[in-house]
Amino acid sequence: MELYTYQDFEKKKSGLKFEEADQIYSELVGLIEIAGPKVENYWSDFLQSSVIYAAMRGKWLLLSNEQRAEMDDQRTSQHDNVIHTLNIVKRYLDEHDLESSWYEELTFNPVQARKRIGDFACYVSYVYGVNAR
C-alpha cells in the first residue's frame, strides 16, 4: 500500500492548491449569500454532487484495477454532474451581475479545468466534513 501526503499532491503543477481553493470558496460563498434563495438551491445541488464525487475519488487509490474499472463510468458521470451543477451556479450568478473571476481561476487552463473542478469539489467536501463534527 502506498501512503500519500498533501505534499505529494502539491508536486502536481496543475492541481488546485488548498490556498487557491480556499480563496475561491470564500469568494463564492459570499456571492451565494448575496444572490439569494434561488441560487442557494443550485448551490445545494453542487454541494450534494461534490460530496458524492469526493467520496468516490477518495476511495480511488484504495481500489484494485478491477474495482476501478467497475467504478470508472460512475465516477466520471458524477464528475460530470459536479461540473454541470457548478456551471448552473455560475450562470445564475452571472444573471445577477455578480463577480465570476472565481470561475476563471478554476478553469483558466482548458486542459486542466476538469481536474481542477474535481479538486475544488473535494475541497468543498472537506469543508463540509470538518464542519459536521
pLDDT tens digits, 46-94: 999 999 999 999 999 999 999 999 999 999 999 999 999 999 999 999 9
Block residue for cell numbers 500519500: 4
Q: How far is CA 52 from the centre of its chain?
A: 11
**In sequence order, what are the residues at sequence separation of 6 or more whose Cβ sits closer than 8 angstroms to the Cβ of residue 22?**
123
* Residue whose cell numbers read 486542459: 111
Interatomic CA distance for residues 89 and 13, integer angstroms: 27
State residue 21's pLDDT score.
98
Give CA–CA dist 35/89, Å, rounded: 10
In this structure, the number of other CB atoms found within 10 A of the CB of residue 81 comes to 18
Provide the pLDDT for residue 45: 98
100: helix, coil or strand?
coil
The letter for the amino acid at 1 is: M
Per-residue pLDDT of 5-43, as tens digits, reads: 888 888 887 899 999 999 999 999 999 999 999 899 999
Residues 25, 126 contacting (CB under 8 angstroms): no
| Residue 60 φ/ψ region, left for φ over 0, alpha for ψ in the -120 to 50 degree band, beta for the rest | alpha
